[in-house]
Chain A
Amino acid sequence: MLRYIGRRVLILIPTLAAISIVTFVVIQLPPGDYLTTLTAQRASQGDGVPTGEIARLTERYGLDKPVIVQYWQWISAILFHGDFGESFDYARPVSALLAERLPLTIALSLVTLVFIWAVSFPIGVYSAIRQYSVGDYTFTFFGYLGLAVPNFLIALVLMWVGLQFFDLNAGGILSPEYRDAPWSLAKLGDLAAHLWIPIVIWGTAGTAGNIRVLRANLLDELRKPYVVAARARGMPERKMTIMYPVRVAMNPFFSTIGWVLPGLIAADAITSKVLNLQTTGPLMLRALLAQDMYLAGAILLISAVLVVLGTLVSDIALGWLDPRVRLRY
C-alpha cells in the first residue's frame, strides 16, 4: 500500500510541473506583457505609470529577462512566498483576493461533496435493487431533471421558494443582521438556512450523475456469479448486498472527489452571482473579461492542482478499499 501511494505521489511531481507551465503560457497569452497591458490601461484612464513603478514591476516579474527566468520568478514566488502576483484590475495582490474567497469556496465544495454522497448512495442502491419499480422510475425522472436544468435556473426557483414560503432572503450566506454579529447558535442557524440552497444547486447534477453510475454498476454487479454463490451459502440478502456487490459498485464514488472540489472554484459564476455568494467563480469570470491574467492564472492553477490532488485522494481511497487496485501494483 505504501508503495502504491509512493508511486502515485511520484507521478504527481511531473504532472504539477506541467500544469504550472501550461498556466504560465495562459498568462502570457494576451498580446504584450503585463506591463504594456497595465500602461495601456492607465493611459486610457488618463494617468501614466510612474517610472519607479515600472522599474519595480520589471524587476518583480523579470520582464526584461528570458521567458524561462520569468517563469521561474513567477513559480518560485508562488512556491516560496505564496505570492501569486498582482491584480491590476483590483490593484491588489492576488493572494489577498484569494484569501477572501477561497475558504468559503472550498468549504462549500466539501459540504456539497458530502451532500452528493449522502443523497446519491441510498437512492442509487435502492434504484438498482428495486429496478423498474415506481421509486426507481421516480428517481430516474428527477435525475434527468437535475442533469438537464441549468444551475442558475434552480437557483432562481429555490430563491423564490425561500422567499415565498420561508420568508428567507436567500442571497449571500448570512442575513444582514448577522453579518457582523459574533458567532452564536442563532448565527449558525442562519448560516444553515442560507447554505442549503447553493449546496442543493451545486449538488443536483453531481447527485443525479452519481445515482446513475451507482445504479448501473450495481445492476452489473448483482448479476455476477459471486452474488448467487453468496446467496447459495445462506447469506442474508441485505448483508450480502452491502458486503459484496455494493462495495464493488461504490468505486466510482471516489472519483467524484476529483472533480467536485475544483469544479466550483473556476466555474459557475452565474449561480454565485444570482445568490450573491463571495466565491472565486465570479472573480475568475471578471478576471478573464478584464484580461487580469495573474488573477485568472492563479485561480486556474489552484483548481488544476486541486484536480490532481483530488484524483490522488480518490486513487488512494480506491487502493485502500479495492484489493485488486492495491495488489496489482
Chain B
Amino acid sequence: MEEPLLRIEGLRTHFFTSEGVLKAVDGVDLSVPAGKTVCLVGESGCGKSVTARSILQLVDKPGRIVGGSIRWNGATELATLDPAGEELRRVRGGEIGMIFQEPMASLSPMYTVGAQLSQALRLHRDLTKQEAREEGVALLRKVGIPNAEQRYDTYPFQLSGGMCQRVMIAIALCCDPALLIADEPTTALDVTTQARILDLMMDLRAQNDMAILFITHDLGVVAEVADEVAVMYLGRIVEHGTVEQIFSDPRHPYTRALLRSIPELRGSGARRRLTAIRGMVPSLRQVPAGCSFHTRCDHAVEGLCEVTPPPLRKYGEAHVASCHLDEVPAAPAAPAAPVLQVTERVAAETAAEPLLRVEGLAKHYPIGGGLFRKPSGVVRAVDGVDLTILPGQTVGLVGESGCGKTTLGRCVARLADPTAGRILYRTEQGDEVDLATVTGARLKDFRRQIRVIFQDPFSSLNPRMTLQQIVGEPLRTHGIASGGELRDRVADMLTRVGLRPEYMQRYPHAFSGGQRQRVNIARALITGPRLVVADEPVSALDVSVRAQILNLLTDLQEELGLTYLFISHDLSVVEHISDRVTVMYLGKVVEDADTADLYRQPRHPYTEALMHAVPVPDPARRRERHAFEIADDLPDPAAPPPGCRFHTRCAHVRAELCRTDVPELREYGERRSAACHHAAGLTLAGVGSVAREPQVDGRMAGRDA
C-alpha cells in the first residue's frame, strides 16, 4: 500500500491532572492519504481535538504524548520532535496548516488581519514586507473576501465570524500546506455561512491538491466533505471506512446512533421526535471497562461487552469497526422498544384565540452615541413585525445571525422595551393586555408567565450558585415559594428535565453543555409559564445532545401545555419542533407559513436559500445545494439596501421593482404570506420533493434517552 501523507499509529495522549491520569487519546490509528479529506467524528469530549493537536504537538499542559507514532510524509516522526525546535516549526504552518472552531478568538485582537497574515507568510517564506502585503491581499481574495485591499487593514473584531474563518484559512494556506487540519471550523457559524465555508474549503482542496483532516460532531457536514470517515469514541477510533460505507452500511452501534440523531430536513412538515443517543459521554475519569460504549449501547451483550474489549473487525476494503457483534441486529435487543413516536399535529386550525399577537413591533437601537455625542445612526433591529401564536403551538423564528430574532424574542419577553408596536398577550382570564405598555409590578407578574431559555449554556449560569439556587431563584424573586417548598419544587422540576434531584447542591461547572441546557430549561419553567421564548437553545450543543434537548422540549410542551417561540438559524432544527415558521431578514418578516407548507414549497427566495444551506446527510447528494448558494454576508443592518432588503443576495432578483420598491407581506393561499414582488411567479425548491426518510431508521428503530 502506498504510504499515506500522515500515518498515526497507536497514538496515546494523556493529561496528568491532580485527579489522576485522563486518557483523552488512547491508542488511535489514523491515516490521511495525500489529497483526500478524512473526517474525524464523535461527540464532544471524545478526544478529537486532542488528536488533532497532538499531530503538531500543540497539546496544552498537563497533557503529553505518551506513546505511538505520527509519521509525516513517510519520513519525519512528528511525535518525538523537539516541540521548540526548528524542524517542527517548519512543519507547523509550512507543511501542515490548521484552523479552529472559534475563528474570531483565533486571531489576536491587537493586530490587523493583514499584519497577522503577512507575518505568517514571512515566517516560512523569504518575502519583503511589500511582497508579503501583495501576496496577503491575493490570498484574501482567493478565500473569497470582498474588498480584500481594505479588509487587509481591519482588525478581527471588525469582521464577522465567517470572514474571520476565511482569514484563518488564508493564513493556513499561505505556504501551500500538503495537509490542512480543520478542528470544527464551522461549528460556531450560521448554516448559511457554514455552507459557504465548506464550499470554499472543497474548492481550495481541489485547486491546491491538499489533504484535509476535518474534525466535526455533525454527520451532515461529514456527508458534504468526506472521502473517508473515522468515528471516535472516548479516545479510540471505533469505526473507519469510506464515506459511502459509513453512510450506507454503518457497522458500529455508535455510528448508527450518531446517524439517527441528525435533525434532517424531511419536508414532510410533521413534527416528530428525534432519536437520541441514550445518556452522555462518560467522564474520562471513569472510562467504562470492556467496550467503552457499553453503557449507552442498545445491543450490549451481557457478560461480554462490559468485560472484554471488542476486537477490530474488517468489513471489506478499509472498512473496520470494533464491536463484539459481527452483525448488529436491526432492531434493538431490548423488547418493546418504543417505535418512533410520531407527534403528528393537526396544525392549529382550531378556533382558539391567539395567546400572543404582535403588531407592528419595532425596536431601534441608536449606534455610536454616548456622552457628548449624538448617535450617528440607528439600527432597525426589528422593523415592523407582525406575529401570531396560538396556545399550545410552537412558532419557529428563523434567520441568520443579526436578523433581529433575539431582539424580537427579548421584546416579547419584555426584557427589552419596544420602540413601537403592540404586544397583545391573552391572560388566563381571556382578556388581551398590551405588554408594550405594562410596567412595574404588573410587568413582573407577566415575566413569570413569559420566560426565556437562553442560547449559551456555558455563560448563562452563574458559576457561584448551586443548581438549587439557580433554578429556585425565580421562585424567590416572584415570591412564589421558599424554604422546603422551594426545595421540593426545584427537585420536581429537575426530575422533569431529566436531572437527578441529588444534583441540587452542585455547581454548574460540574455539568456538560447538555445538562446545563437542562438547568436553563428548568429555570425557565419553574414559575409555571404559559409562553416560553427559546432563543437558539440547541445551537451550542452537539448533534446528539441537540436531539435529546429538542425531545425534552417537546415532551414538556405536551405535559405542561406550553406555547413556544422557538428561535434558530437552522431550518432543520426548526422543522422538528414547530407548527408554524416565521422567517426574518434584516428586521422584517419575509415569510410566514405552516411548517409543512413552508418546507414543501418556500415562497420567498431567502427561505429557499436558508433551506438549502442545511447540509444533507447523504454523500450521494453532496453539492446539490450549490444551485442555491447565496453570496456575501448580511448587509450592514444600520444601512439596509433599498427596495427589497434581500436584493443584494437574491438569486431571483429581477430588474423591475426589486431594487426600488419595498415588497409588502402579502397573502399566498391559506395562512401563509411572503414579502417578495415576484413570489407568485417564482417556483422555489423545497425539500419535500427530494426528501427521503433516513435509511438507517428503517433498519434500526431507535430508542430514546
Shortest distance between the CB of B124 and any CB in chain A (Å)? 6
Would you give the 0/1 interface string for B76-105, flagging 1 where the beta carbon is closer than 8 Å to chain A?
000000001000011111100110111001
Main secondary structure of the interface of A (DSSP, over half): helix
Q: Which of B44-74 contact A (CB under 8 A)?
A: 53, 56, 58, 60
Q: Which of A224-246 contact B (CB under 8 A)?
A: 224-226, 228-237, 243-244
Nearest CB to that of B99 among chain A residues?
Answer: A229
Q: Which residues of A contact B60 (CB under 8 A)?
A: 223, 228
Q: Which residues of B contact A234 (CB under 8 A)?
A: 89-94, 120, 123-124
Residue pair A233, B110 in contact (C-beta under 8 Å) = no
Let me know if B658 is at the binding interface, CB within 8 A: no
Residue pair A244, B155 in contact (C-beta under 8 Å) = no
Residue pair A229, B90 in contact (C-beta under 8 Å) = no
Residue pair A225, B108 in contact (C-beta under 8 Å) = no
Q: Which residues of A contact B107 (CB under 8 A)?
A: 226, 229
User: In the complex, A235→B93 CA distance in Å?
Assistant: 9
Let me know if A55 is at the binding interface, CB within 8 A: no
Known contacts A234-B124, A236-B89; is-contact A225 B102 (Cβ 8 Å)? yes
Would you give the 0/1 interface string for B568-589, flagging 1 where the beta carbon is closer than 8 Å to chain A?
0000000000000000000000
Q: Which of B111-137 contact A (CB under 8 A)?
A: 111-112, 119-120, 123-124
Known contacts A324-B157, A327-B158; is-contact A232 B58 (Cβ 8 Å)? yes
Residue pair A226, B105 in contact (C-beta under 8 Å) = yes
Q: Pick the contact of B110: A10, A229, A235, A322 (CB < 8 A).
A: A322
Residue pair B372, A10 in contact (C-beta under 8 Å) = yes
A contact residues, total (Cβ < 8 Å): 26
Let me know if A285 is at the binding interface, CB within 8 A: no
Range class of the B interface residue count? 35 or more
9 CB < 8 A contacts A-B: A226-B105, A228-B58, A229-B106, A229-B168, A230-B108, A233-B93, A234-B91, A234-B92, A235-B123
User: In the complex, A226→B157 CA distance in Å?
Assistant: 13
Residue pair A323, B53 in contact (C-beta under 8 Å) = no
Shortest distance between the CB of B172 and any CB in chain A (Å)? 7
Shortest distance between the CB of B349 and any CB in chain A (Å)? 50
User: In the complex, A162→B17 CA distance in Å?
Assistant: 47
User: In the complex, A226→B111 CA distance in Å?
Assistant: 12
Let me know if B371 is at the binding interface, CB within 8 A: yes
Shortest distance between the CB of A149 and any CB in chain B (Å)? 32
Residue pair B110, A7 in contact (C-beta under 8 Å) = no
- A residues at B contact (CB < 8 Å): 7, 10-11, 223-226, 228-237, 243-244, 247-248, 321-324, 327
Q: Pick the contact of A225: B90, B97, B106, B112 (CB < 8 A).
A: B106
Q: Which residues of A contact B97 (CB under 8 A)?
A: 232-233
- B residues at A contact (CB < 8 Å): 53, 56, 58, 60, 84, 89-94, 97-98, 100-102, 105-112, 119-120, 123-124, 155, 157-158, 168, 171-172, 370-373
Nearest CB to that of A328 among chain B residues?
Answer: B157
Q: Which residues of A contact B100 (CB under 8 A)?
A: 225, 228-229
User: In the complex, A7→B97 CA distance in Å?
Assistant: 43
User: In the complex, A237→B168 CA distance in Å?
Assistant: 19
User: In the complex, A223→B105 CA distance in Å?
Assistant: 11
Shortest distance between the CB of B99 and any CB in chain A (Å)? 8
Shortest distance between the CB of A224 and any CB in chain B (Å)? 6
Q: Which residues of A contact B158 (CB under 8 A)?
A: 327
Q: Which residues of A contact B56 (CB under 8 A)?
A: 231-232
Pairs of residues from A and B, 9 with the lowest C-beta to C-beta distance, nearest first: A234-B93, A233-B93, A234-B92, A232-B98, A229-B106, A225-B105, A234-B89, A225-B106, A244-B108
Nearest CB to that of B372 among chain A residues?
Answer: A10
User: In the complex, A243→B101 CA distance in Å?
Assistant: 22
Nearest CB to that of B88 among chain A residues?
Answer: A234
Shortest distance between the CB of B341 and any CB in chain A (Å)? 41
Residue pair A323, B155 in contact (C-beta under 8 Å) = yes
Q: Pick the contact of B106: A226, A248, A323 (CB < 8 A).
A: A226
Q: Which residues of A contact B98 (CB under 8 A)?
A: 229, 232-233
User: In the complex, A224→B94 CA distance in Å?
Assistant: 22
Known: A233-B172, A234-B120. 14 other contacts (CB 8 A): A10-B372, A11-B371, A226-B107, A226-B108, A231-B56, A232-B97, A234-B92, A234-B94, A234-B123, A234-B124, A236-B89, A243-B108, A248-B110, A323-B110
Q: Which residues of B contact A7 (CB under 8 A)?
A: 370-373
Q: Which residues of A contact B373 (CB under 8 A)?
A: 7
Shortest distance between the CB of A230 and any CB in chain B (Å)? 7
Shortest distance between the CB of B589 and any CB in chain A (Å)? 32
Known contacts A323-B155, A324-B155; is-contact A233 B171 (Cβ 8 Å)? yes
Q: Which residues of B contact A231 (CB under 8 A)?
A: 56, 58, 92
Nearest CB to that of B177 among chain A residues?
Answer: A233
Q: Which residues of A contact B112 (CB under 8 A)?
A: 323
User: In the complex, A171→B550 CA distance in Å?
Assistant: 76
User: In the complex, A324→B104 CA distance in Å?
Assistant: 13
Q: Which residues of A contact B157 (CB under 8 A)?
A: 324
Nearest CB to that of A230 among chain B residues?
Answer: B108
Most chain B beta-carbon contacts within 10 A, residue among A11, A234, A237, A321? A234
Nearest CB to that of B119 among chain A residues?
Answer: A235
Q: Pick the contact of A233: B101, B111, B123 (CB < 8 A).
A: B123
User: In the complex, A203→B245 CA distance in Å?
Assistant: 69
Known contacts A228-B58, A229-B100, A327-B158; is-contact A11 B93 (Cβ 8 Å)? no
User: In the complex, A324→B106 CA distance in Å?
Assistant: 16
Shortest distance between the CB of B165 and any CB in chain A (Å)? 12
Nearest CB to that of B55 among chain A residues?
Answer: A232
Q: Which residues of A contact B93 (CB under 8 A)?
A: 232-235
Shortest distance between the CB of B486 and any CB in chain A (Å)? 36
Q: Pick the contact of B109: A223, A228, A324 (CB < 8 A).
A: A324
Residue pair A233, B155 in contact (C-beta under 8 Å) = no
Residue pair A11, B372 in contact (C-beta under 8 Å) = yes
Residue pair A247, B110 in contact (C-beta under 8 Å) = yes
Residue pair B110, A244 in contact (C-beta under 8 Å) = yes
Q: Which residues of B contact A323 (CB under 8 A)?
A: 109-110, 112, 155
Q: Pick the contact of A224: B105, B172, B371 (CB < 8 A).
A: B105
User: In the complex, A324→B107 CA distance in Å?
Assistant: 13
Q: Pick the contact of A237: B84, B102, B108 (CB < 8 A).
A: B84
Shortest distance between the CB of B91 and any CB in chain A (Å)? 8
Nearest CB to that of A233 among chain B residues?
Answer: B93
Q: Which residues of A contact B109 (CB under 8 A)?
A: 226, 248, 323-324
Most chain B beta-carbon contacts within 10 A, residue among A7, A226, A229? A229
User: In the complex, A223→B106 CA distance in Å?
Assistant: 11
Q: Which residues of A contact B58 (CB under 8 A)?
A: 228, 231-232
Shortest distance between the CB of A154 and any CB in chain B (Å)? 36
User: In the complex, A215→B277 CA distance in Å?
Assistant: 43
User: In the complex, A241→B123 CA distance in Å?
Assistant: 15
